[in-house]
Structure 1
Protein backbone atom coordinates (compact mmCIF):
# COMPACT_ATOMS: atom_id res chain seq x y z
CA UNK A 1 0.00 0.00 0.00
CA UNK A 2 1.52 3.29 -1.13
CA UNK A 3 1.11 6.10 1.38
CA UNK A 4 -0.58 9.31 0.25
CA UNK A 5 1.70 11.78 -1.46
CA UNK A 6 1.35 15.33 -2.65
CA UNK A 7 3.69 14.69 -5.57
CA UNK A 8 3.35 12.55 -8.69
CA UNK A 9 5.58 11.21 -11.44
CA UNK A 10 4.70 10.34 -15.03
CA UNK A 11 6.18 7.21 -16.57
CA UNK A 12 6.26 6.95 -20.36
CA UNK A 13 6.67 3.23 -21.00
CA UNK A 14 7.61 1.89 -24.43
CA UNK A 15 5.48 -1.22 -24.55
CA UNK A 16 5.78 -4.23 -26.83
CA UNK A 17 3.58 -7.25 -27.42
CA UNK A 18 5.05 -9.92 -29.71
CA UNK A 19 3.07 -11.28 -32.60
CA UNK A 20 1.81 -14.83 -31.93
CA UNK A 21 3.90 -17.55 -33.54
CA UNK A 22 2.40 -19.00 -36.69
CA UNK A 23 1.31 -22.59 -36.37
CA UNK A 24 3.09 -25.14 -38.55
CA UNK A 25 1.28 -26.33 -41.64
CA UNK A 26 -0.89 -29.34 -40.97
CA UNK A 27 0.65 -31.31 -43.85
CA UNK A 28 4.27 -30.75 -42.89
CA UNK A 29 4.92 -27.50 -44.73
CA UNK A 30 6.55 -26.97 -48.11
CA UNK A 31 8.81 -29.77 -49.37
CA UNK A 32 11.12 -27.09 -50.77
CA UNK A 33 11.71 -25.38 -47.43
CA UNK A 34 15.01 -25.88 -45.60
CA UNK A 35 15.30 -26.09 -41.85
CA UNK A 36 18.64 -24.31 -41.81
CA UNK A 37 20.41 -21.84 -44.04
CA UNK A 38 23.57 -22.96 -45.87
CA UNK A 39 25.06 -19.61 -44.95
CA UNK A 40 25.31 -20.36 -41.24
CA UNK A 41 21.95 -19.11 -39.99
CA UNK A 42 19.75 -21.67 -38.32
CA UNK A 43 17.71 -21.51 -35.14
CA UNK A 44 20.39 -19.61 -33.22
CA UNK A 45 20.30 -16.72 -35.70
CA UNK A 46 16.52 -16.84 -35.82
CA UNK A 47 16.38 -16.45 -32.04
CA UNK A 48 18.39 -13.23 -32.28
CA UNK A 49 16.13 -11.57 -34.83
CA UNK A 50 14.09 -8.71 -33.46
CA UNK A 51 10.59 -10.12 -32.96
CA UNK A 52 7.67 -8.47 -34.66
CA UNK A 53 4.69 -7.23 -32.77
CA UNK A 54 2.73 -4.23 -31.55
CA UNK A 55 4.70 -1.27 -30.21
CA UNK A 56 3.30 1.78 -28.47
CA UNK A 57 4.03 4.27 -25.69
CA UNK A 58 1.76 4.32 -22.65
CA UNK A 59 1.77 6.98 -19.95
CA UNK A 60 1.06 6.41 -16.27
CA UNK A 61 0.86 9.20 -13.68
CA UNK A 62 1.08 7.91 -10.12
CA UNK A 63 1.77 9.28 -6.62
CA UNK A 64 5.50 9.09 -5.87
CA UNK A 65 8.21 10.42 -3.59
CA UNK A 66 11.61 11.63 -4.80
CA UNK A 67 13.25 8.75 -2.92
CA UNK A 68 11.13 6.08 -4.64
CA UNK A 69 12.91 3.89 -7.17
CA UNK A 70 11.67 3.41 -10.72
CA UNK A 71 11.02 -0.23 -9.80
CA UNK A 72 8.76 0.96 -6.94
CA UNK A 73 6.79 3.01 -9.46
CA UNK A 74 6.42 0.09 -11.87
CA UNK A 75 5.23 -2.19 -9.08
CA UNK A 76 2.62 0.42 -8.12
CA UNK A 77 1.39 0.53 -11.73
CA UNK A 78 1.24 -3.25 -11.99
CA UNK A 79 -0.59 -3.67 -8.67
CA UNK A 80 -3.08 -0.82 -8.95
CA UNK A 81 -3.46 0.23 -12.59
CA UNK A 82 -2.31 -2.25 -15.23
CA UNK A 83 -1.47 -5.85 -14.29
CA UNK A 84 -0.45 -6.60 -17.89
CA UNK A 85 2.65 -4.39 -17.73
CA UNK A 86 5.67 -6.69 -18.05
CA UNK A 87 9.11 -6.13 -16.52
CA UNK A 88 11.71 -8.36 -14.89
CA UNK A 89 13.15 -8.08 -11.35
CA UNK A 90 14.27 -10.34 -8.53
CA UNK A 91 16.20 -9.05 -5.50
CA UNK A 92 15.26 -5.39 -5.93
CA UNK A 93 18.56 -4.26 -4.40
CA UNK A 94 20.99 -4.06 -7.33
CA UNK A 95 22.56 -7.46 -6.64
CA UNK A 96 21.03 -9.75 -9.30
CA UNK A 97 20.95 -7.43 -12.31
CA UNK A 98 17.74 -8.90 -13.71
CA UNK A 99 15.88 -5.57 -13.99
CA UNK A 100 18.22 -3.77 -16.40
CA UNK A 101 16.37 -1.42 -18.74
CA UNK A 102 16.79 1.92 -20.52
CA UNK A 103 15.78 4.93 -18.43
CA UNK A 104 15.64 8.14 -20.45
CA UNK A 105 17.68 6.26 -23.05
CA UNK A 106 20.42 5.22 -20.60
CA UNK A 107 20.90 1.54 -19.65
CA UNK A 108 20.76 1.08 -15.86
CA UNK A 109 18.97 -0.91 -13.15
CA UNK A 110 15.37 -0.06 -12.29
CA UNK A 111 15.85 -0.89 -8.61
CA UNK A 112 18.74 1.54 -8.05
CA UNK A 113 17.38 4.45 -10.12
CA UNK A 114 15.43 6.95 -8.02
CA UNK A 115 12.75 9.35 -9.16
CA UNK A 116 14.85 12.22 -7.80
CA UNK A 117 17.73 11.38 -10.13
CA UNK A 118 15.85 10.47 -13.29
CA UNK A 119 12.63 12.50 -13.49
CA UNK A 120 12.89 15.27 -16.10
CA UNK A 121 11.09 18.59 -15.98
CA UNK A 122 10.09 20.26 -19.26
CA UNK A 123 11.59 23.57 -20.28
CA UNK A 124 9.51 26.61 -19.33
CA UNK A 125 10.43 28.34 -22.61
CA UNK A 126 9.30 27.30 -26.10
CA UNK A 127 11.95 25.39 -28.03
CA UNK A 128 11.26 27.31 -31.26
CA UNK A 129 10.42 30.94 -31.98
CA UNK A 130 7.52 32.31 -34.00
CA UNK A 131 9.39 31.72 -37.28
CA UNK A 132 10.11 28.08 -36.49
CA UNK A 133 13.80 28.45 -35.57
CA UNK A 134 15.17 26.69 -32.52
CA UNK A 135 15.99 29.07 -29.66
CA UNK A 136 19.49 29.16 -28.20
CA UNK A 137 20.58 29.87 -24.66
CA UNK A 138 21.71 33.41 -25.57
CA UNK A 139 18.33 34.30 -27.04
CA UNK A 140 16.38 33.23 -23.96
CA UNK A 141 18.79 34.29 -21.22
CA UNK A 142 17.18 37.69 -20.62
CA UNK A 143 13.60 36.73 -21.41
CA UNK A 144 11.05 36.21 -18.63
CA UNK A 145 9.84 32.70 -18.04
CA UNK A 146 6.73 31.73 -19.91
CA UNK A 147 3.82 31.08 -17.54
CA UNK A 148 3.29 27.39 -16.91
CA UNK A 149 -0.28 27.48 -18.21
CA UNK A 150 0.99 28.70 -21.60
CA UNK A 151 3.53 25.92 -22.12
CA UNK A 152 2.33 23.08 -24.30
CA UNK A 153 2.42 19.67 -22.60
CA UNK A 154 3.36 21.29 -19.30
CA UNK A 155 3.52 18.92 -16.33
CA UNK A 156 0.94 19.75 -13.63
CA UNK A 157 1.96 21.45 -10.42
CA UNK A 158 3.23 18.97 -7.84
CA UNK A 159 4.69 16.64 -10.45
CA UNK A 160 8.25 15.46 -10.02
CA UNK A 161 8.62 15.13 -13.78
CA UNK A 162 8.61 12.53 -16.53
CA UNK A 163 10.62 9.29 -16.83
CA UNK A 164 10.89 7.45 -20.14
CA UNK A 165 11.33 3.67 -19.99
CA UNK A 166 12.23 1.12 -22.66
CA UNK A 167 13.73 -2.35 -22.81
CA UNK A 168 17.51 -2.76 -22.69
CA UNK A 169 19.13 -1.60 -25.98
CA UNK A 170 21.17 -4.08 -27.99
CA UNK A 171 18.85 -7.00 -27.21
CA UNK A 172 15.59 -8.12 -28.83
CA UNK A 173 12.57 -7.27 -26.67
CA UNK A 174 10.43 -10.10 -25.39
CA UNK A 175 7.58 -8.08 -23.91
CA UNK A 176 7.42 -4.45 -22.70
CA UNK A 177 10.55 -3.85 -20.59
CA UNK A 178 11.80 -7.44 -20.72
CA UNK A 179 14.73 -7.98 -23.08
CA UNK A 180 16.10 -11.32 -24.26
CA UNK A 181 19.63 -11.41 -22.79
CA UNK A 182 20.31 -15.01 -23.86
CA UNK A 183 22.77 -13.89 -26.59
CA UNK A 184 24.96 -12.28 -23.90
CA UNK A 185 24.75 -15.30 -21.59
CA UNK A 186 25.61 -17.62 -24.47
CA UNK A 187 28.68 -15.55 -25.29
CA UNK A 188 29.80 -15.78 -21.66
CA UNK A 189 29.28 -19.56 -21.61
CA UNK A 190 31.43 -19.97 -24.72
CA UNK A 191 34.41 -18.57 -22.81
CA UNK A 192 34.27 -21.19 -20.00
CA UNK A 193 33.46 -18.81 -17.11
CA UNK A 194 34.78 -21.02 -14.32
CA UNK A 195 38.11 -21.71 -12.67
CA UNK A 196 40.31 -24.28 -14.45
CA UNK A 197 43.12 -25.40 -12.15
CA UNK A 198 45.65 -28.15 -12.81
CA UNK A 199 43.59 -30.62 -10.76
CA UNK A 200 46.59 -31.89 -8.82
CA UNK A 201 45.97 -32.13 -5.08
CA UNK A 202 48.88 -30.76 -3.10
CA UNK A 203 49.86 -32.72 0.00
CA UNK A 204 51.90 -31.99 3.07
CA UNK A 205 54.99 -33.90 4.20
CA UNK A 206 52.69 -36.10 6.27
CA UNK A 207 50.69 -37.06 3.18
CA UNK A 208 47.62 -35.03 4.11
CA UNK A 209 45.80 -32.67 1.74
CA UNK A 210 47.37 -29.22 1.80
CA UNK A 211 44.46 -26.87 2.60
CA UNK A 212 46.60 -23.89 1.56
CA UNK A 213 47.03 -25.19 -1.98
CA UNK A 214 45.29 -22.22 -3.54
CA UNK A 215 46.24 -19.59 -1.00
CA UNK A 216 46.73 -16.18 -2.64
CA UNK A 217 48.47 -13.06 -1.47
CA UNK A 218 46.60 -9.71 -1.47
CA UNK A 219 48.23 -8.60 -4.74
CA UNK A 220 47.07 -11.73 -6.56
CA UNK A 221 43.55 -11.37 -5.19
CA UNK A 222 43.35 -7.68 -6.15
CA UNK A 223 43.99 -8.50 -9.83
CA UNK A 224 40.59 -10.12 -10.29
CA UNK A 225 38.54 -9.26 -7.19
CA UNK A 226 36.76 -6.27 -8.73
CA UNK A 227 35.98 -8.24 -11.89
CA UNK A 228 34.30 -10.96 -9.83
CA UNK A 229 31.60 -8.43 -8.91
CA UNK A 230 30.10 -8.59 -12.40
CA UNK A 231 26.44 -9.70 -12.24
CA UNK A 232 25.89 -10.07 -16.01
CA UNK A 233 23.09 -7.51 -16.00
CA UNK A 234 23.76 -6.38 -19.58
CA UNK A 235 24.01 -2.65 -18.79
CA UNK A 236 27.48 -2.42 -20.35
CA UNK A 237 26.29 -4.31 -23.42
CA UNK A 238 23.27 -2.05 -23.80
CA UNK A 239 25.52 1.02 -23.66
CA UNK A 240 28.07 -0.37 -26.14
CA UNK A 241 27.57 1.07 -29.67
CA UNK A 242 29.35 -1.94 -31.21
CA UNK A 243 27.50 -4.77 -29.47
CA UNK A 244 24.13 -5.68 -30.94
CA UNK A 245 23.38 -9.07 -29.44
CA UNK A 246 24.91 -11.00 -32.33
CA UNK A 247 28.21 -12.51 -33.43
CA UNK A 248 29.88 -9.32 -34.70
CA UNK A 249 31.29 -8.57 -31.23
CA UNK A 250 31.43 -10.83 -28.21
CA UNK A 251 30.60 -7.87 -25.97
CA UNK A 252 32.12 -6.29 -22.86
CA UNK A 253 30.37 -8.59 -20.38
CA UNK A 254 31.90 -11.75 -21.87
CA UNK A 255 35.33 -10.12 -22.03
CA UNK A 256 35.06 -9.05 -18.39
CA UNK A 257 34.30 -12.64 -17.39
CA UNK A 258 37.24 -13.90 -19.45
CA UNK A 259 39.52 -11.28 -17.91
CA UNK A 260 38.44 -12.30 -14.41
CA UNK A 261 39.94 -15.78 -14.90
CA UNK A 262 42.91 -14.66 -16.98
CA UNK A 263 43.95 -12.52 -14.02
CA UNK A 264 43.40 -15.31 -11.48
CA UNK A 265 46.74 -16.79 -10.40
CA UNK A 266 45.07 -20.15 -9.67
CA UNK A 267 43.81 -20.63 -13.24
CA UNK A 268 46.07 -22.60 -15.60
CA UNK A 269 44.27 -21.81 -18.89
CA UNK A 270 45.16 -18.14 -19.28
CA UNK A 271 46.82 -18.61 -22.68
CA UNK A 272 43.90 -20.68 -23.99
CA UNK A 273 41.47 -18.02 -22.76
CA UNK A 274 43.41 -15.27 -24.53
CA UNK A 275 43.51 -17.33 -27.72
CA UNK A 276 39.71 -17.67 -27.53
CA UNK A 277 39.14 -13.90 -27.42
CA UNK A 278 41.92 -12.98 -29.86
CA UNK A 279 39.50 -13.02 -32.79
CA UNK A 280 37.75 -10.57 -35.09
CA UNK A 281 34.63 -10.69 -32.92
CA UNK A 282 36.67 -10.73 -29.68
CA UNK A 283 39.08 -8.04 -28.51
CA UNK A 284 39.50 -6.82 -32.09
CA UNK A 285 35.84 -5.77 -32.11
CA UNK A 286 36.27 -3.32 -29.22
CA UNK A 287 36.48 0.28 -30.49
CA UNK A 288 37.49 1.76 -27.09
CA UNK A 289 34.43 4.02 -26.92
CA UNK A 290 34.21 3.32 -23.15
CA UNK A 291 30.46 3.90 -23.03
CA UNK A 292 30.33 0.56 -21.18
CA UNK A 293 31.77 2.23 -18.05
CA UNK A 294 29.04 4.82 -17.59
CA UNK A 295 26.51 3.04 -15.39
CA UNK A 296 27.97 -0.26 -14.21
CA UNK A 297 25.90 -1.01 -11.07
CA UNK A 298 28.82 -2.86 -9.46
CA UNK A 299 31.33 -0.03 -9.90
CA UNK A 300 33.53 -1.77 -12.46
CA UNK A 301 35.41 0.55 -14.80
CA UNK A 302 34.52 -1.67 -17.74
CA UNK A 303 36.25 0.52 -20.33
CA UNK A 304 39.55 0.46 -18.42
CA UNK A 305 39.35 -3.29 -17.89
CA UNK A 306 38.62 -3.76 -21.58
CA UNK A 307 41.72 -1.74 -22.46
CA UNK A 308 43.79 -3.82 -20.04
CA UNK A 309 42.67 -7.16 -21.48
CA UNK A 310 43.13 -5.96 -25.07
CA UNK A 311 46.70 -4.87 -24.23
CA UNK A 312 47.41 -8.18 -22.46
CA UNK A 313 46.17 -10.24 -25.40
CA UNK A 314 48.24 -8.29 -27.92
CA UNK A 315 51.39 -8.40 -25.82
CA UNK A 316 51.32 -12.08 -24.89
Structure 2
Protein backbone atom coordinates (compact mmCIF):
# COMPACT_ATOMS: atom_id res chain seq x y z
CA UNK A 1 0.00 0.00 0.00
CA UNK A 2 1.05 3.61 -0.56
CA UNK A 3 1.29 6.06 2.31
CA UNK A 4 2.45 9.66 2.60
CA UNK A 5 4.14 11.15 5.62
CA UNK A 6 1.03 13.15 6.50
CA UNK A 7 -1.25 10.11 6.56
CA UNK A 8 -2.32 9.12 10.05
CA UNK A 9 -1.71 5.60 11.24
CA UNK A 10 -5.47 5.24 11.50
CA UNK A 11 -5.72 6.05 7.77
CA UNK A 12 -3.20 3.29 7.06
CA UNK A 13 -5.03 0.74 9.19
CA UNK A 14 -8.36 1.57 7.55
CA UNK A 15 -6.71 1.11 4.16
CA UNK A 16 -5.30 -2.27 5.23
CA UNK A 17 -8.67 -3.36 6.61
CA UNK A 18 -10.54 -2.35 3.43
CA UNK A 19 -8.10 -3.71 0.89
CA UNK A 20 -5.95 -6.38 2.51
CA UNK A 21 -7.18 -7.85 5.79
CA UNK A 22 -10.85 -7.35 6.77
CA UNK A 23 -10.28 -9.30 9.99
CA UNK A 24 -7.90 -6.69 11.46
CA UNK A 25 -9.47 -5.36 14.67
CA UNK A 26 -8.90 -1.90 16.13
CA UNK A 27 -11.11 0.69 17.83
CA UNK A 28 -11.84 4.23 16.62
CA UNK A 29 -14.74 6.68 16.45
CA UNK A 30 -14.39 10.40 15.70
CA UNK A 31 -10.98 10.20 14.01
CA UNK A 32 -10.02 13.67 15.26
CA UNK A 33 -8.47 13.13 18.69
CA UNK A 34 -11.65 14.02 20.57
CA UNK A 35 -13.13 10.68 21.67
CA UNK A 36 -9.96 8.88 22.78
CA UNK A 37 -11.21 5.48 21.65
CA UNK A 38 -8.24 4.61 19.41
CA UNK A 39 -5.39 4.63 21.94
CA UNK A 40 -2.77 1.96 21.22
CA UNK A 41 0.95 1.45 21.70
CA UNK A 42 2.96 2.85 18.78
CA UNK A 43 6.61 1.80 18.76
CA UNK A 44 6.15 1.02 22.45
CA UNK A 45 4.65 4.42 23.30
CA UNK A 46 0.91 4.92 24.06
CA UNK A 47 -0.69 7.36 21.60
CA UNK A 48 -3.82 7.92 19.50
CA UNK A 49 -3.98 6.36 16.04
CA UNK A 50 -5.89 9.31 14.59
CA UNK A 51 -3.34 11.97 15.55
CA UNK A 52 -0.15 9.95 14.95
CA UNK A 53 1.25 10.40 11.45
CA UNK A 54 3.54 8.14 9.46
CA UNK A 55 6.19 10.85 9.31
CA UNK A 56 6.21 11.21 13.11
CA UNK A 57 6.42 7.54 14.01
CA UNK A 58 8.13 5.62 11.19
CA UNK A 59 11.56 4.31 12.17
CA UNK A 60 14.24 2.54 10.20
CA UNK A 61 13.98 -1.26 10.43
CA UNK A 62 15.91 -2.82 13.28
CA UNK A 63 15.69 -6.09 15.10
CA UNK A 64 13.52 -5.98 18.22
CA UNK A 65 15.19 -6.41 21.59
CA UNK A 66 14.71 -9.71 23.31
CA UNK A 67 12.66 -8.11 26.07
CA UNK A 68 10.64 -5.83 23.79
CA UNK A 69 6.88 -5.80 24.31
CA UNK A 70 5.00 -7.84 21.77
CA UNK A 71 1.59 -9.44 21.65
CA UNK A 72 1.23 -12.85 23.27
CA UNK A 73 1.86 -15.64 20.79
CA UNK A 74 3.84 -13.64 18.24
CA UNK A 75 6.69 -15.56 16.67
CA UNK A 76 10.12 -13.92 16.65
CA UNK A 77 10.91 -15.30 13.19
CA UNK A 78 7.78 -13.60 11.82
CA UNK A 79 8.98 -10.24 13.14
CA UNK A 80 12.49 -10.72 11.77
CA UNK A 81 11.13 -11.73 8.38
CA UNK A 82 8.99 -8.59 8.27
CA UNK A 83 11.91 -6.36 9.19
CA UNK A 84 14.21 -7.99 6.60
CA UNK A 85 11.52 -7.54 3.96
CA UNK A 86 11.13 -3.88 4.86
CA UNK A 87 14.89 -3.21 4.77
CA UNK A 88 15.67 -5.10 1.54
CA UNK A 89 15.74 -3.25 -1.83
CA UNK A 90 12.45 -3.45 -3.62
CA UNK A 91 10.31 -1.76 -6.21
CA UNK A 92 9.66 1.76 -4.76
CA UNK A 93 6.18 1.75 -6.28
CA UNK A 94 5.24 -1.10 -3.93
CA UNK A 95 4.94 -0.93 -0.18
CA UNK A 96 5.86 -3.99 1.89
CA UNK A 97 3.33 -4.56 4.65
CA UNK A 98 3.80 -7.07 7.43
CA UNK A 99 0.84 -8.75 9.11
CA UNK A 100 2.89 -10.37 11.83
CA UNK A 101 1.60 -10.91 15.34
CA UNK A 102 2.75 -7.55 16.72
CA UNK A 103 1.00 -5.68 13.92
CA UNK A 104 4.28 -4.28 12.56
CA UNK A 105 3.89 -2.54 9.21
CA UNK A 106 6.19 -0.78 6.78
CA UNK A 107 4.73 2.04 4.69
CA UNK A 108 6.51 3.49 1.68
CA UNK A 109 5.53 6.79 0.02
CA UNK A 110 6.22 7.70 -3.61
CA UNK A 111 9.62 6.78 -5.03
CA UNK A 112 11.01 10.32 -4.63
CA UNK A 113 10.39 10.24 -0.89
CA UNK A 114 12.05 6.93 -0.05
CA UNK A 115 11.04 4.27 2.44
CA UNK A 116 9.43 5.49 5.66
CA UNK A 117 10.51 2.38 7.53
CA UNK A 118 8.66 0.40 10.19
CA UNK A 119 5.86 1.27 12.60
CA UNK A 120 5.17 -1.30 15.30
CA UNK A 121 1.68 -1.41 16.80
CA UNK A 122 0.24 -3.27 19.77
CA UNK A 123 -2.71 -2.92 22.13
CA UNK A 124 -2.55 -0.35 24.92
CA UNK A 125 -0.25 -1.61 27.71
CA UNK A 126 -1.61 -2.21 31.20
CA UNK A 127 -4.91 -3.69 30.02
CA UNK A 128 -6.08 -7.15 28.91
CA UNK A 129 -6.03 -7.56 25.13
CA UNK A 130 -9.39 -8.44 23.60
CA UNK A 131 -8.22 -8.82 20.01
CA UNK A 132 -5.43 -7.38 17.85
CA UNK A 133 -5.19 -3.68 18.82
CA UNK A 134 -8.25 -3.60 21.07
CA UNK A 135 -7.61 -3.44 24.81
CA UNK A 136 -10.26 -3.92 27.50
CA UNK A 137 -10.28 -0.56 29.32
CA UNK A 138 -13.30 -1.34 31.52
CA UNK A 139 -11.11 -1.38 34.64
CA UNK A 140 -10.09 2.24 34.00
CA UNK A 141 -13.67 3.36 33.43
CA UNK A 142 -14.81 1.58 36.59
CA UNK A 143 -12.16 3.39 38.63
CA UNK A 144 -13.24 6.74 37.18
CA UNK A 145 -16.91 6.03 37.95
CA UNK A 146 -16.01 4.94 41.49
CA UNK A 147 -14.81 8.50 42.22
CA UNK A 148 -18.14 10.02 41.08
CA UNK A 149 -16.95 12.23 38.18
CA UNK A 150 -19.85 14.67 38.23
CA UNK A 151 -20.65 17.94 39.97
CA UNK A 152 -22.15 17.52 43.43
CA UNK A 153 -23.71 20.83 44.42
CA UNK A 154 -25.70 21.48 47.61
CA UNK A 155 -28.96 20.70 45.85
CA UNK A 156 -30.60 23.93 46.97
CA UNK A 157 -32.26 25.88 44.16
CA UNK A 158 -31.14 29.49 44.54
CA UNK A 159 -33.73 32.21 44.09
CA UNK A 160 -33.66 35.97 43.83
CA UNK A 161 -35.38 38.40 46.20
CA UNK A 162 -38.38 38.26 43.86
CA UNK A 163 -38.66 34.49 44.26
CA UNK A 164 -37.40 33.68 40.76
CA UNK A 165 -34.69 31.13 39.95
CA UNK A 166 -31.27 32.74 40.25
CA UNK A 167 -29.61 31.75 36.97
CA UNK A 168 -26.34 33.39 38.06
CA UNK A 169 -25.90 31.19 41.13
CA UNK A 170 -23.05 29.17 39.63
CA UNK A 171 -21.16 31.86 37.80
CA UNK A 172 -17.41 31.65 38.39
CA UNK A 173 -14.57 34.08 38.24
CA UNK A 174 -11.86 33.44 35.61
CA UNK A 175 -9.39 32.36 38.30
CA UNK A 176 -11.89 29.81 39.65
CA UNK A 177 -12.44 28.37 36.17
CA UNK A 178 -8.70 28.23 35.49
CA UNK A 179 -8.19 25.77 38.36
CA UNK A 180 -9.97 22.94 36.56
CA UNK A 181 -10.59 24.04 32.97
CA UNK A 182 -7.68 22.09 31.47
CA UNK A 183 -8.68 18.99 33.44
CA UNK A 184 -12.14 19.07 31.89
CA UNK A 185 -10.48 18.28 28.54
CA UNK A 186 -9.64 14.72 29.65
CA UNK A 187 -11.11 12.24 27.13
CA UNK A 188 -10.40 9.08 29.17
CA UNK A 189 -8.33 7.62 26.34
CA UNK A 190 -6.09 5.61 28.67
CA UNK A 191 -2.80 6.93 27.29
CA UNK A 192 -1.71 8.05 30.76
CA UNK A 193 -2.66 4.65 32.17
CA UNK A 194 -0.74 2.80 29.48
CA UNK A 195 2.31 4.98 30.19
CA UNK A 196 2.20 4.46 33.96
CA UNK A 197 4.59 1.75 35.22
CA UNK A 198 2.53 1.36 38.41
CA UNK A 199 -0.93 0.96 36.87
CA UNK A 200 -1.89 -2.57 35.90
CA UNK A 201 -5.59 -2.76 35.23
CA UNK A 202 -6.52 -0.81 38.35
CA UNK A 203 -5.95 -3.66 40.82
CA UNK A 204 -3.05 -2.13 42.75
CA UNK A 205 -3.37 1.54 41.73
CA UNK A 206 -6.53 3.46 40.97
CA UNK A 207 -4.73 5.06 38.02
CA UNK A 208 -3.90 8.57 36.78
CA UNK A 209 -7.07 8.93 34.69
CA UNK A 210 -9.31 8.48 37.73
CA UNK A 211 -7.20 10.88 39.80
CA UNK A 212 -7.32 13.56 37.09
CA UNK A 213 -11.10 13.29 36.98
CA UNK A 214 -11.26 13.56 40.77
CA UNK A 215 -8.99 16.62 40.67
CA UNK A 216 -11.28 18.27 38.13
CA UNK A 217 -14.11 18.39 40.70
CA UNK A 218 -11.96 18.89 43.80
CA UNK A 219 -10.77 22.12 42.18
CA UNK A 220 -14.27 23.21 41.13
CA UNK A 221 -15.53 25.96 43.45
CA UNK A 222 -19.14 24.89 42.84
CA UNK A 223 -18.65 21.35 44.12
CA UNK A 224 -19.65 20.52 47.72
CA UNK A 225 -18.13 17.05 48.05
CA UNK A 226 -14.46 17.96 48.39
CA UNK A 227 -13.92 16.17 51.71
CA UNK A 228 -15.57 12.98 50.45
CA UNK A 229 -13.50 13.10 47.27
CA UNK A 230 -10.32 13.55 49.28
CA UNK A 231 -11.23 10.56 51.46
CA UNK A 232 -11.84 8.44 48.35
CA UNK A 233 -8.35 9.05 46.93
CA UNK A 234 -6.49 9.04 50.25
CA UNK A 235 -6.15 5.24 50.27
CA UNK A 236 -3.47 2.61 49.78
CA UNK A 237 -4.43 2.12 46.13
CA UNK A 238 -5.11 5.85 45.62
CA UNK A 239 -2.50 8.59 45.70
CA UNK A 240 -0.40 6.57 48.16
CA UNK A 241 0.33 4.10 45.35
CA UNK A 242 1.61 6.79 42.97
CA UNK A 243 5.39 6.69 42.66
CA UNK A 244 5.64 10.15 41.02
CA UNK A 245 7.35 8.76 37.93
CA UNK A 246 5.35 11.25 35.83
CA UNK A 247 5.41 9.08 32.73
CA UNK A 248 1.66 9.77 32.60
CA UNK A 249 2.34 13.35 31.47
CA UNK A 250 4.51 12.59 28.46
CA UNK A 251 1.98 11.67 25.79
CA UNK A 252 -1.36 13.11 26.99
CA UNK A 253 -3.13 14.06 23.72
CA UNK A 254 -4.93 16.95 25.46
CA UNK A 255 -1.80 18.45 26.96
CA UNK A 256 -2.66 17.77 30.61
CA UNK A 257 0.34 17.57 32.94
CA UNK A 258 -1.10 14.52 34.68
CA UNK A 259 1.88 13.96 36.95
CA UNK A 260 1.79 17.54 38.23
CA UNK A 261 -1.95 17.33 38.89
CA UNK A 262 -1.47 14.16 40.94
CA UNK A 263 1.36 15.79 42.86
CA UNK A 264 -0.94 18.73 43.66
CA UNK A 265 -3.54 16.27 44.92
CA UNK A 266 -0.96 14.65 47.16
CA UNK A 267 -0.10 18.09 48.59
CA UNK A 268 -3.77 18.94 49.16
CA UNK A 269 -4.41 15.67 50.99
CA UNK A 270 -1.39 16.19 53.22
CA UNK A 271 -2.38 19.76 54.07
CA UNK A 272 -5.98 19.13 55.06
TM-score range, shorter chain: 0.7 to 0.9
Q: Contact between 1:67 and 1:116, CA under 8 Å: does it hold in 2?
A: yes
Q: How far, CA to CA, are the matches of 1:102 and 1:196 in structure 2?
A: 36
Q: How far, CA to CA, are the matches of 2:5 and 2:189 in structure 1?
A: 25
Match of 1:295 in 2: 251
Match of 1:82 in 2: 21
For residue 218 of structure 1, the aligned residue among 151, 156, 174 is: 174
- Mapping for residues 228-307 of structure 1, pairs under 5 Å: 228-307=184-263
Could you say if the C-alpha distance between residues 98 and 188 of structure 1 is closer, same or farther in structure 2, counting changes exceeding 3 Å?
same
Structure 1 or 2: more strand by fraction: 1
Could you say if the C-alpha distance between residues 173 and 152 of structure 1 is closer, same or farther in structure 2, counting changes exceeding 3 Å?
closer
TM-score normalized with structure 2 length: 0.82
Q: Which runs of 5+ in 1 are unaligned?
A: 1-61, 127-150
Q: Contact between 1:121 and 1:155, CA under 8 Å: does it hold in 2?
A: no
Q: How far, CA to CA, are the matches of 1:305 and 1:230 in structure 2?
A: 12
Shift of 1:231: 0.3
Q: Contact between 1:122 and 1:155, CA under 8 Å: does it hold in 2?
A: no
Shift of 1:246: 3.0
Helix, strand or coil: the match of 2:148? coil
1:11-38 Cα offsets, whole Å, 9 max, x none, are: xxxxxxxxxxxxxxxxxxxxxxxxxxxx
- Mapping for residues 1-316 of structure 1, pairs under 5 Å: 62-122=1-61, 154-156=87-89, 158-316=114-272
Q: How far, CA to CA, are the matches of 2:185 and 2:215 in structure 1?
A: 12
Shift of 1:155: 4.7
User: How many aligned residue pairs are there?
Assistant: 230
1:33-60 Cα offsets, whole Å, 9 max, x none, are: xxxxxxxxxxxxxxxxxxxxxxxxxxxx
Shift of 1:92: 0.3
Q: How far, CA to CA, are the matches of 1:303 and 1:246 in structure 2?
A: 17
Q: Contact between 2:143 and 2:202, CA under 8 Å: does it hold in 1?
A: no
Helix, strand or coil: the match of 1:72? helix
Q: Which runs of 5+ in 2 are unaligned?
A: 64-82, 93-113
Helix, strand or coil: the match of 1:303? helix
Structure number with larger C-alpha Rg: 1
Aligned alpha-carbon RMSD (Å): 1.6
1:252-310 Cα offsets, whole Å, 9 max, x none, are: 00000000000000000001100000000000010000000011001101111111111
Match of 1:10 in 2: none
Q: Contact between 1:172 and 1:179, CA under 8 Å: does it hold in 2?
A: yes
Shift of 1:122: 3.5
Shift of 1:152: 5.8
Helix, strand or coil: the match of 1:299? coil
Q: How far, CA to CA, are the matches of 1:281 and 1:103 in structure 2?
A: 28
Helix, strand or coil: the match of 1:63? coil
TM-score normalized with structure 1 length: 0.71
Helix, strand or coil: the match of 1:174? strand
